[in-house]
Amino acid sequence: MITIIEVILFVYLAGCVLYNLLLAIAGRLSRKKKIAYEETVNYARIAILIPAYKEDSIILSTVNSYNRLRYPLKQFEVVVIADSLQPRTMEELAATGVNVIAVKFDKSTKAKSLNTAFERLGDNYDLALICDADNMLEADFLLKINHAYQQGHYAIQGQRVAKNLNTPFAILDAANEIIANHLYRKGANALGLSSSVIGSGMAFHYPLIKQILSEIQATGGFDKVLQLLVISKGHSILYLEDAYVYDEKITHAAVFENQRKRWMSSQLVYLRTFWSKGWSALFKGDINYFNLAVCQNALLPRMLLLAALTVCTALAFLLERFIPVSVYWWIALFILNILSLLLPIPGKFFTKYLFTAVLTLPRAVGIMILLLFRLKGADKTFIHTTHTQTGIDNPLLDAARK
């Protein structure tokens, strides 16, 4: 019995490691494409949709940052979907001239806010860009998104980079984002697969996303449903590595716990929900759908994967005589996993911040392990992450972009 369990465990963990390693290598071999957006003559009409739930401390700075965007003013509109904002914040937002749509729900979700916005806005838009309340955009972001749209891409994910590196947890979160961008977006596109989306900094053909959002009622992890609906309607998701959206990274353990609890719960829920559909899609030749529905939802989170391999390798040393899988196989798997994590990290991050991230890792892994026993009901509850960073404080933005 123990033999069977170890073999099954080894095969599963090996599958996770090899999957990540393949994407890491593909992303490393893929060259960064130069976008000739300066040559664009047609400008899509873009609605920038910002769901803002109790984001009084951050929303005004975000809205004001969009004044720096280099894009024809008449061709984009900033729309704040204001959920439970204070009256004073509402007044200050109105004074900026942005379109403010006030909403109130018994149970707030991003999908509900976006659907309300689509109901109240007209259809005089070509693209909808979905951003979080803390997101700031580089000056040429809309130009780059527009260029991709004019080339025929109807679903586009920008590169989300850290807005701040002011605490050890923020540094660890930034490293995690760099790795995820490299693996599941750049690496996936390099292999001809659709990029996954992140939930913000993503643009879609307006009629397409309006239709898709009307089919989503998810509380958490709505982006996982969204990307599958995009694929099912015949569109692939382009990862636009050269278009940067600045995102606030978590600053302390409590925020990390809330955020990961939401992510882990939604991953398990959607694995169960789309397991059968994913395998059915594979048998029909739809690898994209299978990859996003089954492979990525069945994948052990990277911190938990590292912890599992560390424990298993240590046990293999101690129980070498009693286990069927050689300790050398466990060591090889551990090394390959480390390689899959290091390949995406830019050189400057190694020299400046990697040591801090590694020191923070054990505590983060411990939180992830404890969360495995606290996931019940998390998918049915809206877990809000509070944001406070009103500016960009990342000395290594150039490194994050490489």
246-274 pLDDT, tens digit per residue, is 999 888 777 777 778 777 888 888 999 99
Pairing relation of β-strands 127-130 and 202-205?
antiparallel
Contact residues for 291 (Cβ-Cβ < 8 A; gap 6+): 188, 193, 194
Q: In this structure, is residue 257 part of a structural domain?
A: no
One-letter amino acid for residue 58 of the chain: I
Q: Judge if 268 and 222 occupy the same domain.
A: no
Q: In this structure, is residue 217 part of a structural domain?
A: yes
Q: Judge if 187 and 61 occupy the same domain.
A: yes
Q: What is the pLDDT of residues 28-70, one digit of tens each?
A: 998 776 777 777 789 999 999 999 999 999 999 999 999 999 9
Whether 134 has a pLDDT exceeding 60, the answer reads: yes
Binned at pLDDT 50, 70 and 90, residue 322 comes out as confident
The rounded distance, in Å, linking the Cα atoms of 380 and 29 is 40
Q: Are 71 and 40 a contacting pair, CB within 8 Å?
A: no
Q: Judge if 81 and 223 occupy the same domain.
A: yes
Residue 108 pLDDT: 84
Residue 371 pLDDT: 82
296-324 mean pLDDT: 90
* Cα→Cα distances 83→227, 364, 379, 380, Å: 24, 31, 20, 19
Q: With pLDDT > 90 as the criterion, what percentage of the chain qualifies?
A: 64
339-361 mean pLDDT: 86
Report the chain's C-alpha Rg in angstroms: 21
Q: Judge if 284 and 368 occupy the same domain.
A: yes
Q: In this structure, is residue 224 part of a structural domain?
A: yes
The rounded distance, in Å, linking the Cα atoms of 337 and 345 is 14
Residue 384 pLDDT: 59
Q: In this structure, is residue 392 part of a structural domain?
A: no
Q: What is the pLDDT of residues 70-99, one digit of tens each?
A: 999 999 999 999 999 999 999 999 999 999
Here the CATH number for the domain that contains residue 87 is 3.90.550.10
348-363 mean pLDDT: 82
Residue 377 pLDDT: 57
3-state helix, strand, coil in the chain (%, to 5): 55, 15, 30
Whether 299 has a pLDDT exceeding 70, the answer reads: yes
Residue 312 pLDDT: 93
Residue 31 pLDDT: 78
Whether 331 has a pLDDT exceeding 80, the answer reads: yes
The rounded distance, in Å, linking the Cα atoms of 358 and 172 is 8
Binned at pLDDT 50, 70 and 90, residue 219 comes out as low
* Residue of 296, 179, 292 lying closest to 236 (CA atoms): 292
From the CB of residue 210, how many other CB atoms can be counted at a distance below 10 Å?
Answer: 19
* Residue of 128, 222, 130, 201 lying closest to 159 (CA atoms): 201
Q: In this structure, is residue 302 part of a structural domain?
A: yes
Q: In this structure, is residue 200 part of a structural domain?
A: yes
Q: With pLDDT > 70 as the criterion, what percentage of the chain qualifies?
A: 92
Q: Judge if 25 and 41 occupy the same domain.
A: no
Q: In this structure, is residue 202 part of a structural domain?
A: yes
Residue 399 pLDDT: 40
Parent domain of 74: 37-250
Residue 401 pLDDT: 45
Q: Judge if 217 and 290 occupy the same domain.
A: no
Q: What is the pLDDT of residues 368-397, one digit of tens each?
A: 888 877 766 555 555 556 666 667 877 666
Q: Can you tell me whether residue 37 is helix, strand or coil?
A: helix
Q: Judge if 331 and 212 occupy the same domain.
A: no
Q: Judge if 167 and 296 occupy the same domain.
A: no
Name the domain count of the chain: 2
Q: Judge if 207 and 120 occupy the same domain.
A: yes
Q: Judge if 13 and 47 occupy the same domain.
A: no
Q: Of 193, 222, 250, which marks where a domain is finished?
A: 250
The rounded distance, in Å, linking the Cα atoms of 77 and 65 is 13
Average pLDDT, the chain: 89
Q: Judge if 297 and 339 occupy the same domain.
A: yes
Q: Judge if 63 and 131 occupy the same domain.
A: yes
Q: In this structure, is residue 347 part of a structural domain?
A: yes
The rounded distance, in Å, linking the Cα atoms of 301 and 267 is 10
Query: φ and ψ at 194, to 5 degrees?
Result: -70, 140
